[in-house]
Amino acid sequence: MDGLARPGAGERGLTLVETLVALSLLTVVILGTLAGAGTLARSNAQGGKIAQATLLAQEKIEELKAGGYTAITSGSDTVTSGSTSFSRSWTSTTGALANTKQVAVTVSWTVPKSSSVTLTVVVSQ
């Protein structure tokens, strides 16, 4: 004998091919999980931008209303919140009813992807 133990009946080890197949499957599972985590992170980032933009639009609407009915006009500005720059524009048009104005505030951003939020309200005199 050469000193190597031979497997007995019922004993079985893994072959190189079986090990490589198992590693390949594990790699596919890990890569799929990492891709999903990246997508989730991007979705969370975009959701945060939507929340920030909605708040900025609400703030502008309240600011315009606080200035009084006759002072409501169209305009635009740029606001930085956190590390993101938001473009904010608002338009004032005559409302469908007498002595009303329709005010639409749009907040847009470009990072992580271009998007916008628009809020519209009707203000009465």
Model pTM score: 0.68
- What is the rounded CA–CA span in Å between residue 80 and residue 54? 14
Q: What is the pLDDT of residues 52-98, one digit of tens each?
A: 999 999 999 999 999 999 999 999 999 998 888 999 999 999 999 99
The label of the residue with tokens 């956190």 reads 82
Q: What pLDDT does 98 receive?
A: 93
Count of beta carbons in the 10 Å neighbourhood of residue 110: 13
Q: What is the pLDDT of residues 2-59, one digit of tens each?
A: 666 666 666 677 788 888 888 899 888 888 887 777 667 666 677 889 999 999 999 9
- What is the rounded CA–CA span in Å between residue 21 and residue 92? 65
- What is the rounded CA–CA span in Å between residue 43 and residue 119? 22
Q: What pLDDT does 9 receive?
A: 60
Our measurement of the distance from residue 52's CA atom to the centroid of its chain's CA atoms, rounded to an integer in Å, reads 11
